[in-house]
Structure 1
């Protein structure tokens, strides 16, 4: 068995254990809830899509429809506020990266079963998935119009005097990843006159090329800044590690899907930096970028440690790597899924795209 098959099988098996089949009695959609005036969504909706990727034979269109309706609403919230919607995991933690992860999972799921859908079903689901992806329209504005932040987003104040943080670089990378699914959309209709005759794919290509052109001197995606940064304060090492790995994950997905050797090379440089300078179990139990690290003999040891840490933390119980909350509500601990399991499922889905891409794997 090749290393590719071995890793795909190992990661698929672990993801399947972490994101078990959804009981028929469980809902697959929700209107979300509010906390302190902010609309909050449950990241465990991603379990619906992950199950399609991991168990396509048990696919149920009603669950995919309901989940996409819910994500379309989250997309409207994101587009309106100019940064990712708030997604929480079971223990109540929230990270901006969750939104992009879940949307990408649903697009992967949709493509997995696309040929088995009737035309009317394809049309309905495509409209919902497109609305969900358009929630990241703000990310495309960093292609030309806005300066890309080096780390977490800059602090801002709205018209009511409420402070909030703009999108960080990891959000922008995942935003580009989600916009990439709607490459054929008319960019002028989305972004205005500066993109006459262009497609959203052109915007994505400009944005991602800008993102990977700004690597740090030592190969990091962006240099660690302990003194300042766009957030207005010194960076935290664990937060920087997390952003870096999320960026690797997004760039790997984009490079494989668009067959971009230059994007893959940039991601490889970042992975090389973290192989030499970062200890995986000091970062996160969520295996962001694991399929990128696993793709090369040079960095595979990092992926091995990520997979080990992911499973070890999951088996210890609820937490950032452990079981999430109820399938949609996200508030009570159960075994309906985990963020780490969703990251693995997303990585597995992308690995299955590699043979057609011819980019991203060397045994």
Structure 2
């Protein structure tokens, strides 16, 4: 019987289906060092499934027959792709099924930061609402403003649709290449990064993390933005120089920020927590029951396809096995 390692929490229905088909071993942090468990179990494993775990040469080197790692995620920066290619191990992911959910969250962050929702929620609960709200409680209008999208992929385009159709926003976008098919229905204008930063009232980052996007937004970029601008990051924390963002918020170089991702996760302490002009969420872009179920289902299909001799539909590193 083929052996599958489950290296993170997994939907219970999917887990039961795997257990009915294969020998399933679950990595459990309560049973000792996780990487040591992986090194031991991967020696004779055929597949792995999960998310949120760094997998690279240090814990995968003993693998002799590993066919696929099925990630329950879209992003794959936790995986050493060069090593997986060297070992001829497929890596699959779960694109598209979380697009709309993540775009919903991006707009939640945008609106919450623009209208100071978390800060005013606490202000109200603390009994400070003693008279009509004054300028200190004022936020930014959203309707009819300019929305700048950095990365017009599936999620970026979904955010742009919400701005264009829902809020009559003028849409600018910056991408490695023009995306005419996605941009034309939204009358979205392709422009350079500096132009986008200078003209946008709201800037949403939705790029993949790669060599080009690492530290894409730093001090220089924040200085390009308008002082009333709201910055939203739903990409990866490493796309942004976090300290530069903190300084921009502290100095009111920008009005506010909405964040779902960070350079180090889980984020336990940060200067961000001391600021009232930033919304901080715990990387929950896809965190709805419906979407996580779809992601687990797609990861399951990817894994089974590989183990049953078929090429999975969603491979990060397609090659002839």
Identify, as 1 or 2, the structure richer in helix: 1
Q: What is the TM-score normalised by the length of structure 1?
A: 0.27
Q: What is the TM-score normalised by the length of structure 2?
A: 0.30
Identify, as 1 or 2, the structure richer in strand: 2
Q: 1 or 2 for the larger relative contact order (CA 8 Å, sep ≥6)?
A: 1
Highest CA radius of gyration, 1 or 2?
2
